Structure formats: structure tokens, C-alpha cells
Amino acid sequence: MSLRLGDVAPDFEAETTQGPIKFHEWLGDGWGMLFSHPADFTPVCTTELGKTALLKGDFEKRGVKVLAVSVDDLDSHNRWLPDIKDVTGTEVNFPIIADEGRKVAELYDMIHPNASEKSTVRSVFIIGPDKKIKLMLTYPASTGRNFNELLRVVDSLQLTADYSVATPANWEDGDDVIVVPSITTEDAKKKFNKGVTEVKPYLRYTPQPNK
């Protein structure tokens, strides 16, 4: 199945390390991040899950639930959790899907045969309250993800969902943002009372409106 931005995230039922879930029901009315890892007891995945656990409070502040998935079974996941705590100093405090039947992996096109016929690539899906996919990222198995960057992306997605702005290159929460081209400069000056700076007719900056 080929998913695209704006598609409704496929719903599914699955067993996890924190009990069975129905995905859409589990998401509720908030944001979600579903991310895959190639296999249990692998070095990069161990660091990734530990880092996500350390940042869980930061995701929660943004109303984002996190959910991991791999094609290993529940027993394997549970045997692996103590290793993650030992290596990273934190317990995994979010569910990991046991997807040994590859149901979720196939729904979300996480198996790329030219990379590996058995393991999932490092896929990331950020899903909005409307259950639609807002972001998709795919990394090779050899490259660990930057979860601080994923938080930055969430900040941008949530900001641009609520205001008529876009975020420029290397934007961080609190930086100036770009007025979207569909708004004239005259209207932008009325809409954004903190001021509008015109660099080019199509490039106008304004202070972040929710700060």
C-alpha cells in the first residue's frame, strides 16, 4: 500500500508491550507518532527507543502519543526492554507493537525489499487529530533518527495547522515564521499585529503568532 501525505492513517488492532490496542481509538483526538525499528536486540534501535523514552514528556506536552513497531514478537520485546533500560538509564514508557505477522508493516509500507526482505526500514509517521498523515520520513536501518528534530517538526506542524504561516529553514520554536503566499502583505499586516517584514513580495516574515 502506497501512503501519501494527507491520507487517513490505516487503522489496525495489535498486541503491544502495554496490552492490545485499536490504533485510531488509542490515538483519540490528539496527535500520534508511529515509528518502526528493524529488529529487537540491535544497537541503533536500543539507543532510539531509549531516547524516545527520555523525551516522552516533551511529546506529551505537545499532545503527541508515541508508538513503536517491529516484526518481532511480544516475548522478544519484553526480553529486550531491560537491555534498553540498562543501556540508556530509562524504562521504555510507551507501547511497542508486536508485528510478527507484518500486518502493520505492510499497511504502512515499512518493508522495502531492496533494502531488506525481512526487516522494516526506519519509518516515521506523524498523524494529526483528524487521523491524517502529516509527515512521513524513511531512514535506512544503519542511520539512527534525531528525535529532537521530530519534536521540532511537530512544533512546526501544530503551528502551521493553526495559523496562516510556514516555517523557514532551520526554524526553531520561537523564531520568526513566514506568512503564506495566499495572504497579501496588506492583509498580513492586519492579521499579524506583531508586524510583518517584507524581504521579497513573496517572502514576508512575522514573529511567531502563538508566542
Q: Do 57 and 18 fall into the same domain?
A: yes
pLDDT of residue 171: 98
- Long-range contacts, stretch 196-204, CB < 8 angstroms, 24+ apart: 203/178, 204/178, 204/179
Q: Which of 144, 174, 193 is the last residue of a domain?
A: 144
Q: Report yes or no: 14 and 21 within 8 Å, Cβ to Cβ.
A: yes
Q: What is the pLDDT along the chain (211 residues), one digit of tens a residue?
A: 589 999 999 999 999 999 999 999 999 999 999 999 888 999 999 999 999 999 999 999 999 999 999 889 999 999 999 999 999 999 999 999 999 988 998 899 887 554 444 555 689 999 999 999 999 999 888 899 999 999 999 999 999 999 999 999 999 999 999 999 999 999 999 999 999 999 999 999 999 999 8
Q: What is the total count of domains within the chain?
A: 2
Kindly report the backbone phi and psi dihedral angles of residue 29, in degrees, each rounded to the nearest multiple of 5, phi listed first. -100, 10
Domain for residue 152, yes or no? no
Q: Do 111 and 194 fall into the same domain?
A: no
Q: Show the domain range for 81.
A: 13-144
pLDDT of residue 122: 83
Strand ranges, E, within 121-195: 122-127, 133-139, 165-166, 177-179
pLDDT of residue 188: 96
Of the candidates 180, 170, 172, which has an alpha carbon nearest to the alpha carbon of residue 205? 180
- Relative to beta strand 96-98, strand 21-22 is unpaired
pLDDT of residue 193: 93
Q: Do 174 and 137 fall into the same domain?
A: no
| Number of Cβ within a 10 Å radius of residue 91 | 11
Q: Among all residues, which ones are annotated catalytic?
A: 45
Q: Do 169 and 115 fall into the same domain?
A: no
CATH number of the domain within which 171 lies: 3.30.1020.10
Q: Do 136 and 40 fall into the same domain?
A: yes
pLDDT of residue 111: 73
